[in-house]
């Protein structure tokens, strides 16, 4: 008699899927704070997975602060309203069917708009010569990237980090450390899709010119116009196609 195979996906993929499914149920309060999750054995049966995959998924949830695993007491759901952070972004941004969580996306865009305007203004006024030289280098490198999303993401990540660093404000740097993955995802899902890489390259060039002049007003004006254009196009797409990214 052959052993029944319960896992068709690689263990790492299966583990992430289980963790994401349980995370959504906790976030949506299907499992309420203080409640116990089903046992490892019960979850393994529910997800048709091995207990090892379930155990690894639960470790992910504990690392995110969604559950507390207590020997002899079970797996206790935590209150995400008190401890949840932006590390949940990847789970929250899409539902179980893969559709974009539009209310959350709008919230992120609103927060980003307000933060980025201040960061760009301060960075334009306070950057060092070394930072300006690196921004020039990154800009030239960015223009040469074609059909390489991973490379483009690396350059964008460094761009954003330099902007926050150049503000000479530790709080903006700490905020960036928390937000950078969400901001890169938004750049990929919204800016590049709706505005296009060429237009973003032109924006980067004009902002670089404002940096060279240490003109914070101009830098803020340029980024504000860009963000308004993104927001306007976003609203149009919402009305026309429900933006099923």
What's the confidence (pLDDT) of residue 10?
55
What's the confidence (pLDDT) of residue 121?
96
Would 5 be classed as within a structural domain? no
Boundary (domain end) residue, out of 58, 81, 104 = 81
Residues 77, 102, single domain; the answer is no
- Secondary structure letter of residue 98 according to DSSP: S
Could you give the maximum distance between any two Cα atoms of the chain, in Å?
77
CA pair distance 127, 132, nearest whole angstrom:
7
Would 210 be classed as within a structural domain? yes
Residues 95, 215, single domain; the answer is yes
State in Å, rounded, how far the first CA of the chain is from the last one. Answer: 46
Residues 218, 114, single domain; the answer is yes
Residues 114, 36, single domain; the answer is no
Residues 94, 211, single domain; the answer is yes
CA pair distance 54, 242, nearest whole angstrom:
35
Q: Which residues contact 239 (CB under 8 A, 6 or more apart)?
A: none
Instruction: Record the pTM.
Output: 0.69
If one counts every other C-beta atom within 10 angstroms of the C-beta of residue 213, the result is: 10
Whether the Cβ atoms of residue 176 and residue 161 lie closer than 8 Å to each other: yes
Boundary (domain end) residue, out of 81, 102, 120 = 81
What's the confidence (pLDDT) of residue 128?
97
Q: Which residues contact 109 (CB under 8 A, 6 or more apart)?
A: 186, 190, 230, 231, 234
Residues 99, 208, single domain; the answer is yes
Helix axes 216-241, 102-126, angle to 10 degrees: 170
Boundary (domain end) residue, out of 81, 98, 120 = 81
CA pair distance 56, 19, nearest whole angstrom:
8
Work out the angle at residue 184's Cα, subtended by the Cα atoms of residues 216 and 162, and round it to the nearest 5 degrees: 40
Whether the Cβ atoms of residue 195 and residue 103 lie closer than 8 Å to each other: no
What's the confidence (pLDDT) of residue 202?
94
Whether the Cβ atoms of residue 111 and residue 100 lie closer than 8 Å to each other: no
Q: Render each residue's pLDDT in the chain as its tens digit; 245 residues.
A: 444 444 555 556 889 889 989 988 888 889 999 999 999 999 999 999 999 999 999 998 998 888 999 888 899 998 876 555 656 777 777 766 677 777 778 888 888 899 999 999 999 999 999 999 999 999 999 999 988 888 988 999 999 999 999 999 999 998 888 788 788 888 888 888 888 888 999 999 999 999 999 999 999 999 999 999 998 888 887 776 554 44
Query: Looking up tokens 């263990």, which residue turns up?
Result: 11
| CATH code (residue 60) | 1.10.10.10
What's the confidence (pLDDT) of residue 1?
42
| Alpha-carbon Rg for the chain in angstroms | 22
């Amino acid at each position: 008699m052959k052993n029944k195979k319960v896992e068709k996906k690689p263990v790492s993929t299966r583990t992430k899927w289980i963790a994401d499914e349980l995370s959504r149920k906790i976030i949506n309060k299907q499992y309420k704070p203080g409640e116990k999750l089903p046992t490892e054995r019960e979850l393994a049966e529910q997800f048709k997975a091995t207990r090892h995959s379930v155990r690894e998924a639960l470790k992910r949830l504990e690392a995110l602060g969604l559950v507390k695993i207590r020997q002899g007491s079970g797996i206790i759901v935590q209150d995400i309203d008190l401890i949840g952070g932006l590390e949940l972004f990847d789970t929250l941004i899409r539902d179980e069917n893969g559709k974009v969580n539009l209310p959350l996306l709008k919230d992120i865009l609103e927060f980003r708009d307000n933060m980025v305007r201040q960061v760009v203004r301060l960075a334009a006024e306070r950057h060092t010569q070394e930072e300006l030289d690196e921004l020039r280098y990154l800009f030239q490198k960015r223009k040469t990237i074609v059909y390489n999303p991973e490379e483009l993401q690396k350059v964008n990540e460094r761009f954003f980090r330099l902007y926050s660093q150049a503000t000479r404000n530790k709080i903006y740097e700490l905020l960036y450390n928390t937000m950078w993955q969400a901001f890169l995802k938004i750049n990929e899902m919204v800016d590049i899709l709706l505005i296009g890489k060429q237009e973003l390259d032109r924006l980067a060039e004009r902002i670089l010119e404002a940096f060279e002049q240490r003109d914070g007003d101009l830098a803020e004006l340029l980024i504000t116009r860009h963000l308004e254009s993104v927001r306007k196009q976003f609203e149009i797409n919402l009305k026309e196609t429900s933006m099923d990214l």
